[in-house]
A = this chain, B = another copy of it.
């Protein structure tokens, strides 16, 4: 597969007489894809039923005629103002009970039937008109589900839909009361109609209640996207794509991905380091203009699996953005580095956001490939270089990794529902494992927990997997490599209850869970082998299967044959040490990379990336800051 480049474009923002030159310029830069349409509903249908698609016809034709392939977005993330008049209760409601008003974007509740019908209507109109258009080579559904915290809505329509969802999940209200153990604080219900959304309670609501609401909320996104996908499928053979975001865990991306052909995501390395990563000040300073060295790769690997192997970067940060706490410019070379890193992880296409920086409205401080005055911005030269390098390098085929890491959305909800420590977060835990693996120079696959194909991996890690369901257990039993579970793996049922009766992973390993502790950052529990547990530790009774102990003598790692269990959250030194030992056991070679240096193996090449702001040496080769190096795999 030869990688390709693209860009996001808004013909409705610019005079029609400039479209042709824009298209020609895109082609000159080496771009082959252009995404349009996803925010243009008010120009497609300025009054209810008054469709104005002639401009979109012409834009598609102009871009297509220039040789570009169009990705057409459904405009449902930005319903026009008149939609609110038709459906005043379509707005999502926040956890404090406030409607989230018109005036920006994503102002809809996934549970509102009227808006779902309106969405179906506009999608059908576009599908019928452009489904067979030769220039429309892909479709995007909506835009960034979940961005701006828009999955959870506490609206009346959401409450009604939740009750229906609960009635379908539980046979009877008695079954629900039993499953949630509503006896606990006299929380029993007499009918599904008595159940409210779990916000604004006096103290914490029942975690089973919260978890049900989280599952429901994810399902609403899945259903909404499926509705769009089914309509599009009826009219087009082009692949269907959604552009996911970074560190959004409120819906199950794997399930949304099942209904689409390609996963894509919107990669803003500098903004994400600034606004959504736990990291020391020193780390944030060291990578201020580069982004965290593992954040992009982590998402690349998630979305490769979400896309069942096919994935893109739909929006690549090309320069300073407008929405992070601070918005520095990328170090020269970083746009090229980010692009090549995506390709090294198997991306088919990297598309930049956006073509020309808007001189108006919310994102006027967000860089584009062109400046507002249409001169080429800094990133243009870098992607021109990438286009040339692609031509030289040719195909980049991803290899299956030898190491797999489980990332499970329901576990993220479970950790949020019942964190037990003030700074606990499932993404943080799994990302720490990912970072430790990458520090060892490993190439990684990320897998879901349901029915994962873990056979054949040398090492499978499933930190924090709250519920270890039957499919995963079956898959484990079929596994030949080493599977490492824990901390906190298999502790809960799918109703967010403590697993009881056993078995759980600990009992499988001949142990018994005595108690768990959460501790503040100032407290660590040192391990005999070096490093320590931090944040979370489980006190376990076990004898024969104890593979490692804490300095205090408590079991720290249980191990029997191909199954290991971690009785705590290991810090980076402990985790690196363990990973290297486990890999050695399976003859998986490891390295000890400095934090700025990262690598990724494809079937044919090894790519090396220098995320740091100083030159670093790789295997005798000096790689400059923001430098990319590749070599044939030995």
Residues of A participating in the B interface, judged by any CB pair closer than 8 Å: 12-13, 39-43, 46-47, 75, 78-82, 85, 92, 96-107, 147-148, 150, 180-190, 194, 196, 198-209, 274, 281, 284-285, 288, 319-320, 322-323, 325-329, 357-365, 367, 371-373, 375, 377-378, 418, 420-422, 495, 497-502, 512, 514-520, 522-523, 539
CB-based contact A203/B105 at 8 Å: yes
A470 and B571 CA atoms in complex are apart in Å by: 61
Structural contact, B361 and A181, CB atoms closer than 8 A: yes
Q: Which residues of B contact A150 (CB under 8 A)?
A: 202
> How distant is the Cα of A203 from the Cα of B101 in the complex, in angstroms?
9
Contact (Cβ within 8 A) A105 B185? yes
Partner of A201, one of B46, B102, B516: B102
Q: So how many copies of this chain end up in the complex? A: 3
Nearest 7 Cβ contacts at the A-B interface: A181-B360, A184-B361, A42-B186, A359-B498, A103-B201, A78-B186, A325-B422
Contact pick for A103, options B40, B43, B187, CB 8 Å? B187
Chain B residue with Cβ nearest A189: B81
Contact of A497 among B101, B328, B360, B502 (CB under 8 A): B360
**Structural contact, B43 and A520, CB atoms closer than 8 A:** no
Q: How far is the CA of A96 from the CA of B288 in the complex (A)?
A: 34
Chain B: CB-nearest residue to A499: B359
Question: Does B104 contact A418, Cβ atoms closer than 8 Å?
Answer: no
Q: Is the CB of B288 within 8 A of A12?
A: no
B-chain residues with CB within 8 Å of residue A12 when the two chains form the complex: 183
Docked Cα-Cα span, A99 to B92, in Å, equals 19
Output the least CB separation between A447 and chain B (Å).
28
22 A-B pairs whose Cβ atoms sit less than 8 Å apart in the complex: A12-B183, A43-B186, A100-B202, A103-B187, A103-B198, A103-B205, A104-B185, A105-B202, A204-B362, A205-B362, A284-B522, A319-B515, A322-B418, A322-B420, A325-B422, A358-B498, A359-B497, A360-B495, A364-B497, A372-B498, A373-B501, A373-B512
Residues of B within 8 A of A100 (CB): 200-202
Give the most central of A80, A183, A359: most B CB within 10 Å: A183
Q: How far is the CB of A119 from chain B (nearest CB, A)?
A: 13
Nearest-CB distance from A89 to chain B (Å)?
15
Q: Are A187 and B42 in contact (CB under 8 A)?
A: yes
Residues of B within 8 A of A371 (CB): 514-515
Q: In the bound complex, how far is the Cα of B14 from the Cα of A500, in angstroms? A: 13
Residues of B within 8 A of A200 (CB): 98-101
Provide the bound-state CA to CA distance between A391 and B40, in Å: 73
Are B360 and A208 in contact (CB-based, < 8 A)?
Answer: yes
Contacts A102-B196, A207-B362, A328-B519 given; 20 further ones with Cβ under 8 A?
A: A13-B184, A41-B186, A47-B190, A79-B186, A85-B194, A99-B200, A100-B201, A101-B200, A148-B203, A180-B360, A182-B361, A184-B360, A185-B361, A206-B362, A208-B360, A319-B515, A320-B516, A326-B421, A328-B523, A371-B515
A104–B497 touching, CB < 8 Å: no
Shortest CB distance A426–B (Å): 16
> Closest residue of chain B to A377, judged by CB?
B515
CB atoms of B196 and A519 under 8 A apart: no
A320 to chain B, nearest CB (A): 6
CB-CB under 8 A from A362, the residues of chain B are: 184-185, 203-207
- In the assembly, what is the distance between CA of A522 and CA of B280, in Å? 12
Residues of the B chain whose Cβ atoms lie less than 8 Å from the Cβ of A281: 522
Residues of B within 8 A of A183 (CB): 12-13, 40, 42-43
* Interfacial chain B residues near A39, Cβ < 8 Å: 184-186
Q: Contact between A539 and B329 (Cβ–Cβ < 8 Å)?
A: yes
Instruction: Tell me the smallest distance from the CB of A9 to a CB of chain B, in Å.
Output: 14
A327 to B46, CA, bound (A): 56
Report B-chain residues with C-beta under 8 Å of the C-beta of A147: 203
Supposing A360-B498, A361-B206, A523-B288 touch, asked if A107 and B186 sit within 8 A by C-beta, the answer is no
Minimum Cβ distance to chain B for residue A630 (Å): 29
Report which of B102, B180, B198 forms a contact with A361, defined as CB distance below 8 A: B180
Residues of B within 8 A of A274 (CB): 520
CB distance from A140 to the nearest CB of B (A): 16
Residues of chain B within 8 A of A102, CB atoms compared: 187, 196, 201
Closest chain B CB from A152 CB (angstroms): 13
- Asked if B101 and A365 sit within 8 Å, CB to CB, the answer is no
* Chain B residues within 8 Å of A365, by CB: 418, 420, 516
In this complex, what residue of B is CB-closest to A82? B190
Instruction: Give the CA-CA distance A105 to B500 in the complex, in Å.
Output: 25
**Assembly CA distance A182 to B40 (angstroms):** 10
Find chain B residues with CB under 8 A from A500 CB: 359, 372-373
Provide the residues of chain B in CB contact with A207, threshold 8 Å.
361-362, 364
CA distance A499 to B372 in the complex (A): 9
Smallest CB–CB gap between A323 and chain B, Å?
A: 8
Whether the pair B378, A515 counts as a contact (CB closer than 8 A) is yes
- When C-beta atoms are compared, the residue in chain B nearest to A75 turns out to be B186
A522 to B286, CA, bound (A): 11
Contact of A203 among B104, B187, B328 (CB under 8 A): B104
Expressed in whole angstroms, the Cα–Cα distance for A371 and B499 within the complex equals 12
CA distance A99 to B97 in the complex (A): 10
- Contact check, B285 vs A361: say whether CB atoms are below 8 A apart: no
* Distance (whole angstroms) from the CB of A221 to the closest CB of chain B: 16
**A81-B359 CB under 8 A given contacts A205-B104, A364-B498, A421-B327:** no
> In the complex, are the beta carbons of A98 and B97 less than 8 A apart?
yes
A404 to chain B, nearest CB (A): 30
Contacts of A181 in B (CB 8 A): 13, 358, 360-361
Residue of B nearest to A371 (CB): B514
Which of A81, A326, A359 gathers most chain B CB within 10 Å?
Answer: A326
Chain B residue at smallest Cβ distance from A181: B360
